[in-house]
Amino acid sequence: MTATKKSEQRSMNPTHTESSREEFEETPTWTAVVTVLGYAILSALGWLRDFLRNVGLEEKKTSHDPNPKDFVPLYQSYECFYTRNLYTRIRDVFNQPIASVAGAKVDVMERVSDDFNWTFKFSGKKIPSINLGSYNYLGFAENSGPCSNQAIKSIEKYGLTTSSTRHELGTQKYMVELETLMAKYLSVEDCIAFGMGFATNALNIPALAGKGDLIISDTLNHTSLILGARLSGAVIRKFNHNDMKDLETELRNAIIHGQPRTCRPWKKILIIVEGVYSMEGSLCKLPEIIALKKKYKAYLYVDEAHSIGAIGSHGRGVVDYWNVSPDDIDIHMGTFTKSFGSAGGYIAGKKSLIDHIRIHTHSGCYCPSMSAPIVYQIISALSIIMGLDGTNDGQKRIKQLARNVRYFRRQLVDMGFIVYGNDNSPVVPVMIFMPAKIAAVNREMLKRGCAVVTVGFPATALTESRVRFCLSAGHTKEMLDDALKAMDEVGHLVSLRYSKRNPPLRWNELNRTDYENEYFSC
């Protein structure tokens, strides 16, 4: 087990009055040992239970293959070991269904299980909770208001789908409107939009890179980026998360030694990074990456799924936050799911790039174009953010989010929790390390009216389970206070105050006036 790298970076950012810090405190050694011990005990128990099931002393609760026995088994037993023995124990904590709009408050449907999470029944009860798990950064997940009114009008005018692809009869006027507006928002030449964010990466990276190209990607990149890179046929190399020295070494080695075996020079090199990493809460070091990219003549692809709308003083993502020129990034990519309350993804950049993608994208020939209400939700959310609707609602939301982020994060840190990531990232991961606590934190927070997301292995490293808060502009100060109170109690109950830098404090021991002044003065 490796302890997390301790990296602290102060960066002076011209768009913010304070410097922003990004830190990842080291895992306390004792905690790491106990965590691994916990997994070992769970695995040992798992082997014992598997043995009992195979021998027949315990009932096998998994479903059975309807095919005859002489078929090759569909799943190897060891592949499902984790699912059977670890995941099922805490299965009630994931896939929790909701019965309302996924806004700042949400109704979680209560599920009960009689057989330790193998099967669930709905009790019929709904638990109203503060929603700290959905990606709703600017609070556009609303079921009333200008955005949903526009969406409803568009259903009446256009129906739900064209049932045709972009290359055939699927290009409606509203698609052109969305793409033009998005290009204006990002200050680039052109933009193209797709119906699914995951597919935007998986279906378009193959159009940009191919055999003879090199893709250098951050180790913590999202699955869709990795799938797209694999499908492209290019060679993939990784560099340590946000480690600029490692990236430079990879670039130098790539150019000096060329392709493996033949040593031919690479046709082109593509660096893929994300704006905000959703599990770490870290921001990519964009100015340094751009400097490297220019020095070594590589191309840069930035996936702003979690940063567009949520970061930067005008909500324009990491480009806005770091105050770099949009032309320095070759391919801007992002999704509409998080900050715009809709669905889909986009790619933006120079017109020549977008024309090429229009011709070669897989979704141009084989996927229907976006649904009208989805597009109109984005268009109206964008108009609000850009201030084109004549109000300053957009700016208010952006400021509210920034204020919420700083308020929430600072109090968590001061209470003694280990919080990862950048001070300004709307994703706030708090470390819990031990596997049993993943379930405990989630259940206890739900009892106190907060719906949170807890994740463990394999979404994170083995010893780095965490609870990940996603803040929203829709959260009021009262909601945040309730959430902090709940976290304070749960942290005390389950012992989550691991930080060695800050002493463990209860919430009522914090200096409340300090925070309130800061909150209201932002």
Q: How far is the CB of 194 from other proteins (least distance, A)?
A: 9
Contact between 100 and 106 (Cβ < 8 Å): yes
Residue 59 as a binder of other proteins (CB under 8 A): the answer is no
Q: How far is the CB of 446 from other proteins (least distance, A)?
A: 11
Q: How far is the CB of 227 from other proteins (least distance, A)?
A: 6
The span from the CA of 477 to the CA of 107, in Å, is 20
Binders of other proteins in range 120-139 (CB under 8 A): 131, 133-136
Burial of 75 (C-beta count, 10 Å sphere; 0-12/13-18/19+): exposed
| Beta carbon nearer to other proteins, 65 or 509 | 65
Binders of other proteins in range 478-497 (CB under 8 A): none
Among 130, 298, 382, 402, binds other proteins (CB under 8 A): 298
Among 220, 367, 462, 505, binds other proteins (CB under 8 A): 367
Q: How far is the CB of 452 from other proteins (least distance, A)?
A: 9
Whole-angstrom Cα Rg for the chain: 24
Q: How far is the CB of 273 from other proteins (least distance, A)?
A: 16
Binders of other proteins in range 216-245 (CB under 8 A): 222-224, 227, 230-231
The span from the CA of 125 to the CA of 98, in Å, is 11
DSSP secondary structure, 28-91, as one string = PHHHHHHHHHHHHHHHHHHHHHHHHHHHTSS---S---SS-TTSPPSS-TTTTHHIIIIIGGGG
Q: How many CB atoms lie within 10 A of CB 359?
A: 11
* Tokens representing residue 125 in the block: 């009860």
Binders of other proteins in range 347-366 (CB under 8 A): 352-353, 355-360, 362-366
Binders of other proteins in range 377-436 (CB under 8 A): 377
Q: How far is the CB of 3 from other proteins (least distance, A)?
A: 27
| Beta carbon nearer to other proteins, 54 or 163 | 163
Across 254-329, the runs of DSSP E, i.e. the strands, are: 269-274, 299-303
| Beta carbon nearer to other proteins, 194 or 420 | 194
32-40, 200-208, 282-290, 312-320 -> range binding other proteins (CB under 8 A): 200-208
Q: How far is the CB of 36 from other proteins (least distance, A)?
A: 23
Among 281, 315, 341, 416, binds other proteins (CB under 8 A): 341
The span from the CA of 73 to the CA of 65, in Å, is 8
Q: How far is the CB of 255 from other proteins (least distance, A)?
A: 5
The span from the CA of 114 to the CA of 119, in Å, is 7
The span from the CA of 54 to the CA of 221, in Å, is 39
From edge to edge, which strands make up the β-sheet containing 427-433?
427-433, 465-470, 453-455
**Closest residue by Cα to residue 328 from 294, 303, 356:** 294
Q: Please give the helix or strand (H or E) that residue 450 lies within, else none.
A: strand 450-451
Total number of residues that touch other proteins (CB under 8 A):
121
* 125 backbone φψ class: left, alpha, beta (φ>0; ψ -120 to 50): beta
One-letter identity of residue 364: G
Among 37, 44, 52, 152, binds other proteins (CB under 8 A): 152
From edge to edge, which strands make up the β-sheet containing 105-112?
105-112, 121-131, 450-451
| Beta carbon nearer to other proteins, 23 or 142 | 142
- Contact mark string toward other proteins, 102..121, x via CB under 8 A: xx--x-xx------------
Q: Helix/strand/coil (H, E, C) string of 106-119?
A: EEEEEEECCCCCCC
Residue 85 as a binder of other proteins (CB under 8 A): the answer is no
Binders of other proteins in range 438-477 (CB under 8 A): 451, 453
Q: How far is the CB of 440 from other proteins (least distance, A)?
A: 18
Binders of other proteins in range 242-271 (CB under 8 A): 252, 255-257, 265-269
CA distances from 336 to 249, 308, 309, 318, 350 (A): 34, 9, 9, 16, 20
141-149, 280-288, 407-415, 421-429 -> range binding other proteins (CB under 8 A): 141-149
Binders of other proteins in range 154-183 (CB under 8 A): 155-173, 176
